[in-house]
Every structure is written in C-alpha cells, then in structure tokens.
Structure 1
C-alpha cells in the first residue's frame, strides 16, 4: 500500500471519530437538561406524617391527615354545666380518736377473772361484745394494792392506840404523875399517825380507789381494834376471822359505752401497767375522711360552715340510702401525688350499719354551674399547677390549639371549666379527648427556646 493511500485512511478514521464524539456530546447535553414534565421528588412517609408548629396562632399544631388517623384523635363538645352538679368525693371511714380508749391497770397483777358478757356468766367477754360504762371487764389480784391497804390498816391501828394513850395522859396532866416531856412525845406520835393516815388515804385516792373502798379499809381497821380489845384483860383476842378474798383485788371497769376492739388478757396472765388490757371504741359516730381535689378546695372552703354537709354511702352498696353527715375540717396539706387535701367530718352510726375501714362516696351539694362548661376528664392535661386542653380549630382535626384553663372542680368523668375562651372553654367548642399528652409533648419540643 502506498503512502498516499495510508494518509487517506488515517484522515477518514479521524473524521469518523470526530463525528461520533460530536454525537455523544450532543446526546449528553440533550438528556442532561431538566425536563419540565418530570415528576417531583417523592417525600418520605416520615416527612409527610410530621407534626409542625403553626405560624398563624400561638401554641397551635398542624397535624397531617395520616397522623390524625394513626393517633386516632377524638373530640367532644363542651357542654353547659348542670346547675346543681354535686361534688363527689371518695374516702374511707375511720375511728374517732376521741372515742377510743385503751384500758390499763393501775397496778401490776394476775388476772383472776374476766367479766361476763351479755350472753351470761358462763360466757366471758370477747372481741366484738358491746359493753356499758361501769361494766366489769376483769379482776386482777395485786400484791401492791393489798400491801398498801394493809399499811393504812396498820396506820389506823397505831393512830387509835396513840390517841387513846394521849387522851389518858392529858386527863392526868394536872396530877403531876406524868412528866410533861412524855405527854409531848405522845402528842408528837399521835400527830405523826394522823399525817401518815392522811398520806395513805391520798395515795389510795390517787390510785383511783373510791371513797367506798377506803371506808371499807377503815372499817376493817376498827374491827381489828375492837377484836383486840374484846379479849380477857392482859390477853387480847387475836383469833382472826377468815381473810377477805377481795382484799387485794382490782376491778377493771369500762370507762364508756362501746364495743371491744381488742382483748389482750385471759385468766392467769400477769399484766403490767403498760399493757393494753382492752381497746374499747364508741362506734355510734364514725369519722369520714374524703379526698378533695386541689381545684375544688376554693368551692368547698367558700361554703358557709352550717351548709357543709354531705351524703355518705358505701362504695360497695351504692344503691343503699345515704346518711347525712357534716364536714368539720378541711386539711391544709396537699398530697404531692394526687393533688388532693383531706376533708374530715362525721356521720351517725347508731344502728351500726357502717364499719371502720369501709370505702365510701361522699356527695357534697354545691351551688354554681351557670357560668361553667363540662368537658370529659380525659381532655385535661395536668401539668402540675398548670392545666391545658387542646381545641380543634378545623373539622378534620388537622389544626389544634393548646389553651390554658382553670379547672374549678372535677368528678371521675368530667371537669368543669369557666365558660369563656380566656382561661376556659366556650360552650360548643370541641376539645380533644385522646392523644392530648402526646401532642402536648410534641408542642413543647417544637416551641422555640426562649432567650435567657
């Protein structure tokens, strides 16, 4: 092949390569330009379901329709409150501390008898029995009381002897047969006996022995003195009659009418002064302790004291007739978990239909309701001292606004708010009843941080 032919072939190849290169560049430019008919880029499902903060109103959220469906948001319409809506409180029945007594013994001793019950002498008292004031509960045998009674008898005997001698010496004082010093010494002994007898009497009275028992001790001392003086001259009659079996006994009697709640003794037990022999309570009136929500306290406190009454019925017997009682005190301490205070009062229980510890519902009739609306309790967002609700601004619930409210009172199902848009909810407005806590958390996250 000649050199001329070779040059022509190389030129052809260069020309063809240039044409191919131009075609490739033109295709790249053409297909690289954006097309006006191309579909927009797809948005991720997460971005399409995101809740955002509205710029048109404060504390307002814009919720995509899929999120509304996913959260299953529901609403309820605020209704005008009923005019005579009562305040319903839950609580418990308690013993009245002023009507509960702990029965003790004033002296240590052995239990020799337990008092009989109303069922008969063969049936000793037991827990649950009713007793009357002054009724015999038990008898104890105490060496201490026996010795103290004997001390009084001994002092009375010495007093009688020294009194007789002193009077005799005074009768012969003018004769000079007896020294004046002997008379003064006997007078001093006589006065000491008087002081001792009076001290022992006061001791027995301080031990709450009644005057009848003290009189019996003095009578016993006189009998001993007379028995000693009745024998032949120079040989007193020392033959003693049988000992009084009740000499060292202590009778334990009921201090009030009531029911035995505890019995901590039986025959043969040794009891001390620190032991509770019985616990007796008067159950004819019981204390009612009910929980009052913090927002209900102003309403309850504003009621006149003579109108603070409640209708109390057992939670377990809601169909039973309620019993009317009176509210006496409203507690000053708020429970940090429930935000409730304790209202305390009482109810009559003469027929014993109530028992200590039973759960109750107390209904307090109150005035008001004309300027209030009622919303479901599930719509309230309780953030400590602040309360909120979400108001639906659109029919499809895609725009909601959180609003601070004043909860005046609440029941187990409803909350009562002022009938206004500022600090309350207007009648007819729709409030969210589901998902409110989640939306409130989202709102707090989306709200801009306030500069310090």
Structure 2
C-alpha cells in the first residue's frame, strides 16, 4: 500500500491507525522520538553509491588474539595439587591459578636453605677475621680469604633464591602458577592429581574481546588479494555454523610471508571484533575477503535491511517521529553493504543501526509505541 494511504487509514478505534498505541504496528508504523536518535539508539542514513566488491571465499579457524592472552605453563614438571579458578572467572594479574607439587621446586628450596646457612657461616667467619685483623692477630691474607668466601656465599644464596622464584616455588616443593595479566580464564586444562608438564599449557588467561581468524589463501588467489591489499585495507566477513545467516565483519591485517609446503596455502589473518564473546577459539569458519571492483551501486548498510517470511524490508523515515516499514528488492551484498535495486531512492532516509529493535515488540513496550512485526 502507498505510504500516504497507510497514514490516512483508520483503525477499529476510529482514529488514524498510525496514531493508535494499539494498532500502529499493524500498518507497519513505528514512532521513535528524536531523543532516542540523539542518544545513539538509532542511526538514520541515506542510500549511497558504493563501489561493489567481489568476494574471495576461504576456509578458516577462529583463534585467540595472541596480543590479548597469555598461556600459563609450569617451568618444571610436577603433580597438580590444587586448582584455585574455574573457566570464566575474572581475575587480576598475580592471582593464584593452581598449585603444583614438584621435585624440582623441592630441590630448589633445599638448595636455597643450604645457601642461606652457608651465607650465615661465611658472615660469622668474616666478622671474626675482621675483628682479629683489627687487633693485629690475623694476617691480611686471612681477612681477604674470609671476605672472598663471604662474597661467594652471597652470590650462591641469591642464585638459589632466583632459581626458586623462577620456578614459582613457595617452599616445601610447591609451585604456585599465577595469572600474568588481568582478564578471564579462557581455557583450563588442570585437574588435581594429574601430571603437569612444561610442554603443555595449563591455562589461558586474557581478553577475547577481539579474535584472530586465520584463513587459508590458495596460491591461485594470492596475487589478486595482495595487489588489492596494497591499495588499502581489505574488509572481510566471517561466517560460522553456530550463527547461520549471520556474518562478523573484520579486516585483513596480515598475509604470511611464507607458504605452507604441504597445503600450498598462505595463512591470512583477519582481525575481528568480538565484544560479545560469541566467536569461540577453535571454531571453524568460512571467510569472504572483499576485493574492490569497478562497478558502483546504490546500497544501504547491511543492518538496515531486515527480513520477514522471505521478504526484505527497511524502516523509512516518513515525517516527524514516525517511521514506516517498506519492502525493498536487493541485489548483491559485500563488506557490510547491500545493493538496493527497488523500494528506496537516494534522497530518502532509512534506519540503519537500531532497525532490528524497531522490528521487535520489546521496543514497542519500551517506547509505548507500535512496532512492525
């Protein structure tokens, strides 16, 4: 129906349907006060001409951003005796993660105690030699030998203390592994009674608010991707099976300088924002890397185009605080953009960010206004 006809229609309450709190949503009209737009809940945009990009499709895997996480492992082997944290715990740097009973830590502790005892003995011997020298009862040679022995004992004591510290030992053969950074416990592979090895990470601590997606770039695509990246950053879209029909935007930030000899692929890294933590390390993914073309098309941000029972639609600003649902026809999609082939013109204003909220009954109840189903 024409927009003018929708705004003139009368509801069962014998008033204009778009002004009725109960019936507004039935004609696809939403009321969104200007203050909600000013607060950033909604963003209104105009369709614009955008350069159409074509995708190169790659297989990939989600991994942690190594700059944001730390993998914790013991310096020496041992047996896990106590675990202080659980996956998902938020912790501060230096917080204890787990305790390990280690023969190496016990030996280091014993060496430190022995070194301290020898240091105390050397200190008493030096004090005696110094006193005798001052009284003329000991030679300079005896004094220097005592001083050299004292200096050597200090070095041995510091070395023993440092070795125990590097092991993370606290005494009695116990190693305490601590969090190296603030963050969350993202991975934990520790059960009391299990053996712990320096070759295996026991915990991963950090922030997964951003992740890396490592994709395999085949040899046939290397030239065109590298040439396109030389002209500027390349946008990408990441798809995972856990969220069908949904994509996560990212940017290609690294193409490996070497090729895997067995797979004949080049590792390509896509940086992806993961503020909600929905992308999990270890997920398999499909990636589309968008290479700029020459064609241009009228397009809207992907967030502006919604779907209901297979029909695409947008929320179009009509007048004042009122927005109306209008069907659109779409064409190609790329890098966060959707081509609009019919239904909206370049001079009209469309809701981008927040469009999905307009579709929901939740927003209708919050605003006391109607909402399109």
Supply the distance in 1 between the matched residues of 2:196 and 2:218 (Cα, whole angstroms). 47
Which runs of 5 or more residues in structure 1 are unaligned?
1-81, 116-124, 215-244, 371-410, 412-452
Compared CA separation, residues 353 and 179, structure 1 to 2 (3 A): closer
Compared CA separation, residues 188 and 201, structure 1 to 2 (3 A): same
> Structure 1 residue 114 and structure 2 residue 71: aligned?
no
- Counterpart in the other structure of 1:288: 213
Question: For 1:157, which of 120, 143, 161 is the aligned residue?
Answer: 120
Compared CA separation, residues 148 and 357, structure 1 to 2 (3 A): same
- Counterpart in the other structure of 1:86: 54
Equivalent pair of 2:248/2:272 in contact (CA under 8 Å) = no
Equivalent pair of 1:163/1:190 in contact (CA under 8 Å) = yes
| Number of aligned residues | 242
Equivalent pair of 1:310/1:327 in contact (CA under 8 Å) = no
Deviation, 1:285, is 3.0
Deviation, 1:365, is 3.4
Equivalent pair of 1:291/1:341 in contact (CA under 8 Å) = yes
Equivalent pair of 2:108/2:164 in contact (CA under 8 Å) = no
- Counterpart in the other structure of 2:223: 298
More strand by share: 2
Supply the distance in 2 between the matched residues of 1:310 and 1:274 (Cα, whole angstroms). 35
Supply the distance in 2 between the matched residues of 1:330 and 1:187 (Cα, whole angstroms). 61
Question: For 1:344, which of 242, 251, 269 is the aligned residue?
Answer: 269
Deviation, 1:172, is 0.3
Supply the distance in 1 between the matched residues of 2:145 and 2:179 (Cα, whole angstroms). 44
Deviation, 1:188, is 0.7
Question: For 1:201, which of 158, 180, 189 is the aligned residue?
Answer: 158
Deviation, 1:197, is 1.7
Supply the distance in 1 between the matched residues of 2:221 and 2:194 (Cα, whole angstroms). 53
Larger Rg: 1
Question: For 2:203, which of 278, 303, 308 is the aligned residue?
Answer: 278
Compared CA separation, residues 269 and 299, structure 1 to 2 (3 A): closer
Equivalent pair of 1:93/1:360 in contact (CA under 8 Å) = yes
- Counterpart in the other structure of 2:348: none
Equivalent pair of 1:106/1:207 in contact (CA under 8 Å) = no
Which runs of 5 or more residues in structure 2 are unaligned?
1-49, 296-333, 335-373
- Counterpart in the other structure of 1:237: none
> Structure 1 residue 137 and structure 2 residue 97: aligned?
yes
| SS, match of residue 367 in structure 1 | strand
- Counterpart in the other structure of 2:129: 166
Q: Which residues in structure 2 correspond to 1:187-226 (within 5 Å)?
A: 187-209=144-166
* Residues 190-231 of structure 1: CA deviation (Å, up to 9, x unaligned): 321221221330343255459xx99xxxxxxxxxxxxxxxxx
Supply the distance in 1 between the matched residues of 2:138 and 2:130 (Cα, whole angstroms). 15
- Counterpart in the other structure of 1:329: 255
Equivalent pair of 1:128/1:260 in contact (CA under 8 Å) = yes
Supply the distance in 1 between the matched residues of 2:122 and 2:194 (Cα, whole angstroms). 38
Supply the distance in 2 between the matched residues of 1:167 and 1:127 (Cα, whole angstroms). 59
Q: Which residues in structure 2 correspond to 1:196-275 (within 5 Å)?
A: 196-209=153-166, 248-256=173-181, 257-266=183-192, 268=193, 271=196, 273=198
Supply the distance in 1 between the matched residues of 2:153 and 2:197 (Cα, whole angstroms). 28
> Structure 1 residue 184 and structure 2 residue 141: aligned?
yes
Deviation, 1:136, is 0.5
Supply the distance in 2 between the matched residues of 1:362 and 1:353 (Cα, whole angstroms). 16
Supply the distance in 1 between the matched residues of 2:58 and 2:161 (Cα, whole angstroms). 51
